[in-house]
Amino acid sequence: MAHTQQVKLLECCQVSPPIGSIPSTTLPLTFLDIPWLLFPPSQPLFFFDFPHTTSHFKQTILSNFKISLSLTLQYYFPLVGNLIIPPQPSKPKITYTSGDSVTLTIKESTYDYYNHLLIHHQKGVQDFHQLVPHLPQIGELLHVDQELKYSLLAVQITIFPNCGVSIGFSKRHVVADERTSNNFLKTWAGIFRNGLELYLPVLNKNLPYCDRSIIRDTNGVEPIMWNQKNVPKLANGNFSDMVRSTFVMGRPDMEVISGWIMSRSKKLFGSAQLLLSPYVVTCSFIWVCWLKANMDNIEDSIDKTEPHYFGFIAGGITRLGYPVPISYVGNCIAFGRAMARRNELLGENGILFAAKTIGDTIKELNRNVLGRVENWMSDWKVFNGSGLHMTVTGSPKVDLYSLDFGWGRPKMIEEISIDKTGDVSLCESRDMSGGIEVGLALPLAKMEAFYMLYIEGLKNLH
């Protein structure tokens, strides 16, 4: 935990779409974008094996990285634009003007630490902070007396000589969701490997769709959202004792948890049919372990009935009731908020209660994904103002590990922003078919407690 990653700056440059490829464009924020306006940037970080020297990377790889990024940005031009926040009553918007660019930073690790970063358990969070670019946090939107402009995307490549490379991002969620980000990365990698001319037939099958008028505000909630902007709570910035760990929930463990839940479900919930997808099973188990690890004294608190919330996002592309292209560039996700009482979650049937409320929330979203859309902002204010609440970010349905720049799949993927947000990250497992990787960042003592609860919890369910 005492080591801190050391890197040195090699180059910092600006990458724009090809000159003249995109006209100046203004994009309004849809009601699906507005909730993310004040959220901190997401910071995904990908590690790839690359057993070559820094000079080899600079001479044979770097130029193509820049060119392929430039070509990709012409199709995903909102990412290279800026978020404009004007004085009220004008509304924030995204603009692209010819010459806008993304900052690309190239760094080199001066410490042989690559293999340590790839282990799953107890890595100091500060070892990762120099591997991702940083975008400034957006402050309050009220009382702005002059127009403010914020970049939406930054990229950093860090070379670990003779070992590997990492590619880190900082992206504002207001411009695009994880589905869009994944499409952007796959396009960039495809153009990098093949060149635009050879990759164009693939790209033409699902050209990025940037027209935000496709999103219909049929419930008229946009004015409500502008009046109830969501300001998330962030960690205090003291990372000296915080560690990161990744837990892999495999299919066999999911089946054990699911079987245990079903064996007790009838007694508590009668004939009610529970939704026990891999996502629900994994999240219910993780939620209970996380809550117990974060409780100061479980024995004193077990009988209390105060609510605890579980927050997540749900894809909206297939749930809106009208067609939206899968290549849509923007946000097309909904909020889910499940609730259970403390005595339920900390009792002997905690996992069952967690699975019931998460599954019921997903069922409701399946029936009507926008059913509570007018309450999203107020719901999340209640959520953020509550005691111990857990939020998951990411989705195991987004195949991040299929990203390939020509060096094979990523060796490891981390979401660095969870250090500040306190979220739990999810993605598909790299090595276990059907498995889910769960990423956490906690103070060391709480991480050790979570680890024991996770291991012992699975053992007791067998």
The two beta strands, 164-171 and 242-249, are unpaired
Q: Rounded to the nearest 10 degrees, what angle do helices 350-367 and 278-294 cross at?
A: 130
The one catalytic residue in 49, 360, 379, 404 is 404
Whether residue 7 contacts residue 131, with contact meaning beta carbons closer than 8 Å, is answered with: yes
The one catalytic residue in 33, 127, 173, 419 is 173
Whether residue 392 contacts residue 424, with contact meaning beta carbons closer than 8 Å, is answered with: yes
Q: Is 242 helix (H, G, I), strand (E, B) or coil?
A: strand
Q: Smallest Cα–Cα separation from 286: which of 180, 390, 369?
A: 390
Whether residue 311 contacts residue 391, with contact meaning beta carbons closer than 8 Å, is answered with: yes
Residue 173 annotated to the active site: yes
229 alpha-carbon distance from chain centroid: 20
**Other CB atoms within 10 Å distance of the CB of residue 119:** 12
Q: Which residue has the tokens 């859309």?
A: 373
Residue 462 annotated to the active site: no
Q: Which pair of structure tokens corresponds to residue 208?
A: 């990025």
Alpha-helical regions (H) of 125-195: 126-129, 178-194
**Other CB atoms within 10 Å distance of the CB of residue 459:** 9
Whether residue 120 contacts residue 246, with contact meaning beta carbons closer than 8 Å, is answered with: yes
Give dist(CA 93, CA 88) in Å, integer.
12
Partners of 245 in beta bridges: 440
**Residue 258 region, left (φ>0) first, then alpha (ψ -120 to 50), else beta?**
alpha
Q: Rounded to the nearest 10 degrees, what angle do helices 251-269 and 350-367 cross at?
A: 90
Sequence-separated contacts (24+) of 80-83 with Cβ below 8 Å:
80/16, 80/17, 80/152, 80/153, 81/25, 81/27, 81/152, 81/175, 82/149, 82/150, 82/151, 82/152, 83/138, 83/149, 83/150, 83/151, 83/152, 83/172, 83/174, 83/175
Give dist(CA 269, CA 275) in Å, integer.
13
Give dist(CA 137, CA 424) in Å, integer.
20
Active site residues: 173, 404
